[in-house]
Amino acid sequence: MDPRHVRTAADARAIVEHRGLDHVKIGVFDIDGIMRGKYMARDKFFAALESGFGFCDVVLGWDSNDQLYDNVKVTGWHTAYPDAMVRILPETCRAVPFEGDMLLFLAEFTGEAEAVCPRGVLRRVLKRAADMGYKVEAAAEFEFFMFEETPHSVRAKSYRDLKNVTPGFFGYSMLRNSVHAEFYKELLDLGAGMDFPIESLHTETGPGVIEAAIVHDEALAAADKAALFKTFTKIMAQRRGWMATFMAKWSPDWPGQSGHLHMSLSAGDGGSVFFDAAAPHTMSDTMRWFVGGQQHLMPELLSMIACTVNSYTRLIPGFWAPTEANWGVENRTCALRIISGSPKSQRIEYRIAAADINPYIALACAIGSGLWGIEHRLDPGDPVPGNAYAMAFPPERGLPRTLSEAAGRLLESAAARDLFGDAFVDHYAATRDWEEREFRKAVTDWELARYFEII
């Protein structure tokens, strides 16, 4: 049986038995989009397919460095870190190509923990869309830098003087992708084999930077594909003695790394609700309202997109990253880019996102804010012509400049609470506040160079 044909618990049991597996891999994605998981014995897996299993809820109560939050209610020392129930998702079955016949299944939190589960929050937003009569298609594209380094070498170097896989400015380079054709083929084959097929793959401008666009799918499946792409690209790189980073910006000398999201809405009959042949830019009223909601709520919801302290080093003028909540038609200087054309191609590119996103939370934000715009019939105004960096916008279009500020805006957002629920908003905002407080403990190289001698 092909793993991509698994749909039910019975299918999952059958493929495990057919492959003679004693164990399978189970993974969940945490608040930061990091995959946490384990090998699970076959008999336990079969039982868990029916009734779920307990997974220590500390993965919802610690950061990307496994440090425990001191400001969340969902879990902590006050709850003694109990198990939270998790459901296995048979339809997410994947073969793991470098582990023989091994299979991977994704899972998601249920019960009380479901309120803060990243996959759960996206599911709730998509249910809202379905209740409105819409189906959402989405896709992600990521830029990432590749290094001839290992987890040990980068630490030994204190993350300085790292060796990129290739040097120089070589955007869309046939030279670079031909010299390293084996790596490109390996990554393309990985995507095909693990059901996150790559639509396009090319070098970007900068040393060792690559961009991959993942084939579109229904939005929940698209988020699975994006999260798995990030995880297994890093795994594949490390298995060959390299490293990939999806930081928003790893160096002040190079542009940041985008994680742009594409999305479109269709009706029950499959027809596009974004396309109107008679309208300017073929944008239907529904599409205009969707864009209006995204633009209006972007300053309030930014922490769900710009989710790390590092995210905000990318959001500066002139570096291919938006600095205001604005939109334009085929305009890459705007936060929202409208791609117009045929009913099949009419879509929105959510360009504010960087490669460091948690795909589930980022898509929940981008789609949820658009649905909110439809519900409230928010018109976005006129599109921005030309260079958005050179234009002035109303203060309400301005974006928070720090993660802490963005988390505070999220806490105060009535729309966020309506879209995502109080439990998620309170928990997520607390985790972002924690992230910035951890950063404030650091003494950076910039501070040492600026103040050590002269002050």
Q: What local confidence, expressed as pLDDT, does residue 318 receive? A: 67
Q: What local confidence, expressed as pLDDT, does residue 184 receive? A: 98
* SS (HEC) of 35-70: EEEEEEEHHHHHHHHHHCEEEEHHHHCECCCCCECC
CA distance 440 to 201: 37
Amino acid letter, residue 394: P
CA dihedral sign, ordered 236, 238, 244, 246: positive
CA distance 29 to 37: 9
Please state the φ and ψ torsions of residue 416, each to the nearest 5 degrees: -60, -40
Q: What is the CA radius of gyration of the chain?
A: 22
Averaged pLDDT in 10-residue chunks for the chain of 455 residues: 95 98 98 98 98 97 98 97 98 97 98 97 98 98 98 96 96 97 98 98 96 98 98 98 97 92 94 96 98 98 98 82 92 96 95 97 98 98 93 93 97 98 98 97 94 95
Query: Residues for the chain: how many in total?
Result: 455
Q: What local confidence, expressed as pLDDT, does residue 269 receive? A: 85
Do residues 255 and 321 lie in contact, with contact meaning Cβ atoms separated by under 8 Å?
yes
CA distance 102 to 25: 7
Do residues 136 and 219 lie in contact, with contact meaning Cβ atoms separated by under 8 Å?
yes
Q: What is the torsion angle, in degrees rounded to the nearest 10, for the CA atoms of residue 263, residue 265, residue 271 and residue 273?
A: -120
Amino acid letter, residue 263: M
Q: What is the torsion angle, in degrees rounded to the nearest 10, for the CA atoms of residue 251, residue 254, residue 255 and residue 260?
A: -70
Residue ranges and CATH numbers for the domains of the chain are 3-112 (3.10.20.70), 126-448 (3.30.590.10)
CA distance 202 to 261: 17
Do residues 215 and 140 lie in contact, with contact meaning Cβ atoms separated by under 8 Å?
no
Q: What local confidence, expressed as pLDDT, does residue 320 receive? A: 67
